[in-house]
A = this chain, B = another copy of it.
């Protein structure tokens, strides 16, 4: 587990397909993207709305409208996509809400100690971009320096 939602996965797929289909600022409509990805149109629409609110894609209304990327894929860190679909990256509920929500805070020896872990995971996800996920060859960049797999 530790699984991210399907929507997030769809988000990455749609982003990559959008990059392939919208060269030179051309916009791509939902039906075409649904066709290309094999996903349902309503689902693709929902994903694009979320990506739009997060500022990764830009929607053009009206006939001949559609979506296009606001940035190249290598300028979109994976963490940004995940945050858009799932909210702040935090492994436990303790840290994100109010500290008072943890009823056993007085007894819990791990109280507040998860935050460094969250930062570590966050940093890991910030170093990987969406472009890395479509690279046809094994990725060397974040393999060597940053993440030291």
Known contacts being A36-B107, A117-B128, is A1 close to B2, with CB within 8 Å? no
Q: Name A93-149 residues within 8 Å CB distance of B.
A: 93-94, 103-104, 106-110, 113-114, 116-117, 119-121, 123-125, 127-128, 132-135, 138-139, 142-143, 146-149
Whether the pair A110, B12 counts as a contact (CB closer than 8 A) is yes
Q: Is the CB of B133 within 8 A of A114?
A: yes
A91 interface neighbour in B2, B37, B148, Cβ under 8 Å: B2
Whole-angstrom CA separation of A143 from B123 in the bound complex: 11
Asked whether A4 is an interface residue with its Cβ less than 8 Å from the other chain, the reply is yes
Residue in B78, B87, B110, B120 whose beta carbon sits within 8 Å of that of A134 in the complex: B110
Contact call A4/B1, Cβ cutoff below 8 A: yes
What residue in chain B is nearest A82 (Cβ atoms)?
B2
Let me know if A92 and B3 touch, CB within 8 A.
yes
- Is A38 positioned at the interface, with any CB of B under 8 Å from its CB? yes
Asked if residues A2 and B107 are in contact (CB atoms below 8 Å), the reply is no
Knowing A108-B13, A123-B149, the reply to whether A92 touches B4 (Cβ < 8 A) is: yes
A70 at the binding interface (Cβ < 8 Å) = no
A residues within 8 Å of B by Cβ? 1-6, 9, 12-13, 16-17, 20, 36-39, 78, 82, 86-87, 89-94, 103-104, 106-110, 113-114, 116-117, 119-121, 123-125, 127-128, 132-135, 138-139, 142-143, 146-149
